Amino acid sequence: MAKRFFLIVLDSFGVGELPDAYKWHDEGSDTLGAIRNHQNFNCPNLKALGLFNIDGVGGGVSSPKASYCKMSETSAGKDTTIGHWEIAGIISPDPLPTYPDGFPPEVIEEFEQKTGRKVICNKPYSGTEVIKDYGREHMETGALIVYTSADSVFQIAAHEDVVPVPELYKYCEIARAMLHGKHGVGRVIARPFTGEYPFTRTANRHDFSLVPPADTMLNLLQKAGYATISVGKIYDIFAGSGVSESNRTTSNTHGMQVTKEIQGRDFEGLCFVNLVDFDMKYGHRNDVAGYAAAATEFDEFLSKFLPDMREDDVLLITADHGCDPSTPSTDHSREYTPMLIYGAGIRGGVNLGIRPTFADISATVLDFFGVGKEKTSGESFLKEVQK
């Protein structure tokens, strides 16, 4: 029977501050802790798998169905790109560049010259607030709204009636080609919006990421002949490197629908899923109620997904960083992430403790398929959990 590995990243679903959280001013952050007592949170499947048995979380069950641990981020950062890269086997010792005072004049001037459009804003900003504050000026002048955040991102917002989506993507490609070396931001992000003031962001967001600096587990699996199926923004995060099939999604709901459809297919390899709404819609907007409801929706998805797993399937649930919706900050938080691994061939109730790096996931995935990890980082925990 074909071996299939479903790796699902709940984007920003942290489980408590890392010891070095103070370096990022994230002391006290605990994304799961912020939502678990909300009335919208009802996650019996995650509880049964062992989410609350993870060290330091509390409230676990006597016989977890999955094996579990919490994972430390070794890379110097707390953003989506290096979090996913580390999950896939690349540790980033140096942080990607950030711009708390906006991008330097030479970057903006070159971008304006190459696009033929002026730039407005050029500050760290909330994505929903920036279109309220600059959207009308953009509509009147055609200038591009360029902004950043605490993450390593160059974001370009434009109204779809002023700058059609394909044109906005072209501008992002121009920025991506410019931004390398010392200005090599993790992602250039298209942020189209529509409607009348105060405007609404659309589902046509698109990320243009740096190409990973070395082979990841995706490349190694692909070279070994296995399918590498992306759901959500995985393709974008890895700039398509090592991905054999991309499935773009518009929401968590859509991402789970696509993942369930893929579960019904015959393939051999990895299905790598990112559910972005936890982070984008709820964490960054300090929406505890929405985040808790999104966790409940995912748990309901598990009610349908778990019974249909095949004998040789493995499911691993994790996250890439935190984004505590209950703190004053609207940025990512430097947190441990959860790891739950489940399948007919996986023992339940094995506490793997605290793993030193997200990259142990990559090593485990490669071990599952019998593919050598070559220069990728991490140590497999497969033998500790296999029946």
pLDDT tens column, 96-122: 999 999 999 999 999 999 999 999 999
Cα dihedral 100, 155, 114, 82 sign:
positive
- Give the distance from CA 335 to its chain's centroid: 14
Find, among 232, 186, 220, 262, the residue nearest to 4 by Cα: 262
CA distance 1 to 312: 7
What's the mean pLDDT when you consider all of the chain? 96
Q: How confident is the model at residue 92 (pLDDT cuts 50, 70, 90)?
A: very high
pTM for this prediction: 0.90
Is-same-fold flag (4-93+210-385; 105-207)?
Answer: no
Domain boundaries defined on the chain: 4-93+210-385, 105-207
CATH superfamily of 105-207: Phosphopentomutase (3.30.70.1250)
CA distance 61 to 38: 20
Q: Mean pLDDT throughout 346-355?
A: 98
CA distance 36 to 132: 32
Task: Give pLDDT, residue 348.
Answer: 98
Q: Residues with Cβ < 8 Å from 347, sequence gap 6 or more?
A: 67, 385, 386, 387
Look up tokens 């009636």; give the residue: 161
CA distance 217 to 90: 9
CA-angle at 272, arms to 293 and 255, nearest 5°: 40
Query: For the chain, how far is it from start to end, CA to CA, in angstroms?
Result: 17
Q: What is the pLDDT of residues 220-272, one digit of tens each?
A: 999 999 999 999 999 999 999 999 999 999 999 999 999 999 999 999 999 99
Q: What is the pLDDT of residues 285-313, one digit of tens each?
A: 999 999 999 999 999 999 999 999 999 99
DSSP per-residue codes, 201-217: E-S--EEEEPPPSS--H
Task: Give pLDDT, residue 246.
Answer: 97
Q: Residues with Cβ < 8 Å from 34, sequence gap 6 or more?
A: 288, 291, 324, 325, 326, 327
Task: Give pLDDT, residue 2.
Answer: 85
Query: What burial letters (b/e) apply to 169-187, b meaning 16+ CB within 10 Å?
Result: bebbebbbebbeeebebbb
CA distance 387 to 382: 10
Q: Residues with Cβ < 8 Å from 82, sequence gap 6 or more?
A: 75, 76, 92, 95, 96, 186
Cα atoms found within 13 Å of the Cα of residue 100, Cβ hemisphere only: 1
* SS3 state at 98: coil
User: Greatest CA separation found in the chain?
Assistant: 64
Q: What is the pLDDT of residues 172-207, one digit of tens each?
A: 999 999 999 999 999 999 999 999 999 999 989 988
CA distance 154 to 180: 12
Q: Residues with Cβ < 8 Å from 333, sequence gap 6 or more?
A: 14, 17, 21, 24, 26, 29, 31, 78, 321, 322, 323, 324, 327
What is the DSSP-derived secondary structure letter of residue 161? T
Looking at the chain, list the stretches that DSSP marks H as alpha helix, in order from N- to C-terminal side.
31-35, 44-49, 80-87, 105-115, 127-141, 165-178, 217-223, 234-237, 252-263, 277, 288-305, 359-369, 382-385
**CATH domain 4-93+210-385 topology:** Alkaline Phosphatase, subunit A (3.40.720)
* SS3 state at 45: helix
Task: Give pLDDT, residue 203.
Answer: 87
CA distance 77 to 93: 9
Instruction: Pick 77 or 170 by higher pLDDT.
Output: 170
If you count them, how many residues does the chain have?
387
CA distance 320 to 141: 38
Q: What percent of the chain has pLDDT over 90?
A: 94
CA distance 165 to 163: 6
Q: How confident is the model at residue 1 (pLDDT cuts 50, 70, 90)?
A: low
